[in-house]
Chains A and B, each alone.
Chain A
Amino acid sequence: MDQILSLAATNLLSPIILSFALGVAASLARSDLSVPEAAAKALSIYLLFAIGFKGGVSVAAHGIDAKLGLTLLAGIILSAGLPIIAFALLKVMTGLSRLDAAAVAAHYGSISIVTFVAATSVLQSSGIASEGYMVAVAAAMEAPAILSALWLITRGGGDQRMDGDLWREILLNGSIVLLVGSFFIGWITGEKGLEEISSFIVAPFKGVLCLFLLDMGLVAGRGLRDRSDVLRPGVLAFGVLMPIIGSTLGAVFGLVLGLSTGGVALLMVLSASASYIAVPAAMRVALPEANPSIYLTLSLGVTFPFNLTLGIPLYVAVASALTGG
């Protein structure tokens, strides 16, 4: 317990979290502070490239084993299975319609890459190593949740508009292409490649993450300010409970697979996080009648801040305790 509290305190007072808090506070206070759209896009490209590249370098240094395939499979199973649990929970805890519940559930099976990036930063600061291929697991967990949500709708006799174009957009969305592409570049070029560009992708990483989270804080704060009416008590409770359930399942899978402390923590983070980029876009096309205010506010305004502030230190501490790391 002491370890959890100590890690939580360190995390809460880190520049990364304080930058996020600044963004939320500025938004709630109706400040005109904003990060230009193009700058925010550039920051996200930098972060995805850096995290993918470093993951690839780690795989080049430590090699791959059967665990890679099994962890990918575990990620896909978690991504496909979590929406079914989330859907059942939403039906019990909230008065959401079947359509809204399925749309929300899809978000909780998929992942938030920014939460993943923040978690890798915390692990790095704590000197905890993780499997480099967790980046690939993150990419693999983006899409299966969408299929599960659509299955839930079809099973209930509902109508959904999934087409080939949407699948292409989901599987080849810019974030996934950049993450997986930079992972392979890192894997191919290894330590030598990292040496060549480390002054660009290693040293400034945390500073860039601070600015990006400032922007995320602004967006999350704006969502909470303008759309908080959708956060009824049951919905709000779901936004905090579901990450705990997801992370617990992530821990079980991580332990069964024999992942390192960092690997278990990252699988917990991936299972606990909720998408707010890829899945909302897919839901707008496939389930246009679902209310975007509910799933965006819940994912970005509740679960993302929870994971960022309390979730990550909790998951790291639990992973350390479970693996003896």
Chain B
Amino acid sequence: MIQTHEAKRVEITIEAIMQSRLTDALRKAGVTGYTVLPVLGGSGRSGDWVRSGEIGRASGMVQVVCIIRPDRLDGLMEAAFNVVDKHIGVVSISDCDVVRAERF
């Protein structure tokens, strides 16, 4: 049985235009590992949208996924919140297990 370790998975869905600002803030907070995913479309308080229907980066969305040790969650959330507080998007946190804990 492979040993696993508890970790936190933070998913931040945010406007594409804010991506570099968010990842810069995460790096400054010591979070060096994250994955950026394109978002194809969705629906929320600001209405429906699809990536193929957008003409610029203004209204497209991306998702930034970070998996971190639980003790680093507060630092990450503080850094992320300063960037995303007034913007369209969703921030969610879930528990997960990882192998190779030294990587997080």
Contact = CB atoms under 8 A, between A and B. Distances in A.
A226 B49 CA distance: 9
Contacts of A276: 55-56
A298 interface: no
Interface string B28-67: 0000000000000000001111111111111100000000
Given A226-B47, A293-B47, A219 B17 contact: no
Contacts of B87: 284, 288
A277 B55 contact: yes
Contact of A296 (B21, B57, B59): B59
B100 interface: no
Nearest to A219: B55
Interface residues of A, number: 25
A281 B87 CA distance: 13
Residue among A165, A276, A280 facing the most chain B CB atoms (10 A cut-off): A280
Contacts of B88: 288
A280 B18 CA distance: 13
A283 interface: yes
Nearest to B51: A37
Contacts of A223: 53
A292 B53 contact: no
A213 to B, nearest CB: 12
Nearest to A279: B58
B92 to A, nearest CB: 20
A289 B85 CA distance: 10
A278 B48 CA distance: 22
Nearest to A221: B53
B58 A296 contact: yes
A231 to B, nearest CB: 14
Contacts of B49: 226
Interface string A169-180: 000000000000
Contacts of B59: 280, 284, 292, 296
B103 interface: no
Interface of A: 34, 36-37, 165, 216, 218-219, 222-223, 226-227, 276-278, 280-281, 283-285, 288-289, 292-293, 296, 300
22 contacts: A37-B51, A165-B20, A218-B53, A219-B53, A219-B55, A222-B53, A223-B53, A226-B49, A277-B56, A277-B58, A280-B58, A280-B59, A281-B17, A284-B15, A284-B17, A284-B18, A284-B59, A285-B17, A285-B21, A288-B87, A293-B47, A300-B55
Interface of B: 15, 17-18, 20-21, 46-59, 86-88
Task: Name the 7 nearest CB pairs between A and B, nearest first.
Answer: A280-B58, A277-B56, A281-B58, A288-B86, A222-B53, A288-B87, A284-B17
